[in-house]
Every structure is written in C-alpha cells, then in structure tokens.
Amino acid sequence: MRRYGPWAVVAGASEGLGAAFATELAARGLNLILAARRGDVLTALADRLPTEAVPVVADLATEAGLAAVAEAAADREVGLVVANAAYSPIGPFLSEQDALEAEYKAKGQPVPFYASDKIDRKYAAMIGRAPFNSLIDHFDHIIKVAGIDHVGIGTDFDGIPVPPAEIDSAADFPKVTAALMARGYSADDVRKVLGGNILRVFREVQADADHTEDVTIRAK
C-alpha cells in the first residue's frame, strides 16, 4: 500500500484472474475500483472485499466504458492499474485501410497490392521485427506438438509486411538450419522440415490421385 497508494483499478474484475487480483489487493489493504461488464457479479465481489470497493459496470472495448472508469478514478488517488481487460477501439491502421478500400471501390477497381502493402509496412515498422530466436522457438514448439514428420516450413516474403529479424530473403534459410541443429535436430530432421515433408505429401497425394483415376477408368 505504501508503494502503490490507497487505490487500485482492476479491469476485468468480475471473475478469474481479475477477481483474484482484486481479492489479493484488498487483502493487502488497497481500496479498489472494479471494472467489468457483469454488474451483478461485480457488485457481489465488491460486497465481499474487506476494503472500500467501487464497482463500475463498463465495457472496456468502448470509449464510453473507458470514460466511466476514468470518472470513477478522477477524485481518488490511484497508484496501480491491473489491466486484465483492455481498451481496444478500432485504430488508425484500419481507418487507413478502410479509406483506401473506399477510394478504389468508388473507382470500381480492386485495391492495388502496393498501396495496401505500404500501409501494412508503415504500422509494422512501429512494432518492429520479431526476434530471430522467437521464430526458432515457434518452429521448435510446432515440431514438438505435431512431430517431425508433420511440419513443413516455407516462405511468403511477398505476403508479409516485415519478416522476422535476420530473415531478409530465402538466402538466409541456412541460419534456420544452423539454429535448429544447435537445438539438437539432426540433418535428416532439418531436411524433412525444410521441404522433405512437403515433397513427400505432394508425392502421396499425386499417387492417390493417379490410383483413383486408374480405378475410375477401369470401372468404366
């Protein structure tokens, strides 16, 4: 309480993690502003807590919901916010894409890829590139879940605005090979993942199609 002040805001407080945060913070002496959409559950929680609790029925996906929480906090010294639910209105990215689509719809034309891609790249640059190790973590997890014979890694450099760090073209794929082998995968494992499994499935599908065609011809 000395660290955070006398009041805390808990968003999404009606159940689950939000309710658990509220209960623990109240046990430590903080007064609470509890925000969630389910008023009955929220009020019941507020009544059970040992400190002062102000329930605010609000949908935090709306501007009105955010305003309601801000109003409840205006005259209280809030030193902690638990964001168990988020404020998520439509932002400028969608507004720009929507405006672009409206412009070309009025012309009776499809949106050119370069125009849409320009907006994608603008906002992707604000986020930054995913770390290379995160990419390898992703591959590693999928392999562990699906099995080494059921994963195939490909590229889509013309379909994403920004590739992961250190992967600027197909020429960088040896880095993926080296990283997977550094995690204990064999050369045969990597061959499967980097094309072998995909080619195997293609061959099996083609063989099945050929067999089906042959059976159909004989039946006639």
Q: Which residue shows structure tokens 């168990």? A: 84
Pick 91 or 180 by higher pLDDT.
180
Q: Where are the domains of the chain?
A: 7-83, 90-127, 129-211
Interacting residues of 33 by C-beta distance below 8 A, sequence separation 6+? 7, 8, 9, 10, 53, 54, 56, 69, 72, 73, 76, 78
Query: Element (H or E) spanning 42, and its range?
Result: helix 39-48
Sign of CA dihedral 32, 33, 38, 42: positive
pLDDT digits (tens, 9 = 90+) for 19-67: 999 999 999 999 999 999 889 999 999 999 999 999 999 988 788 888 9
Q: Give me the CATH code for the 7-83 domain, please.
A: 3.40.50.720
pLDDT digits (tens, 9 = 90+) for 116-171: 888 888 888 887 888 999 999 999 999 999 999 999 988 777 667 888 999 988 89
Please determine, for residue 175, whether its predicted confidence score (pLDDT) is greater than 90.
yes
36/14 Cα distance (integer angstroms) = 6
Please determine, for residue 88, whether its predicted confidence score (pLDDT) is greater than 60.
no
- Mean pLDDT of the chain, nearest integer: 87
Q: Which residue shows structure tokens 């499994």? A: 197
Residue among 82, 115, 85, 118 at smallest CA distance from 100: 115
What whole-number percentage of the chain has pLDDT above 70? Answer: 90
For residue 113, what pLDDT is reported? 87
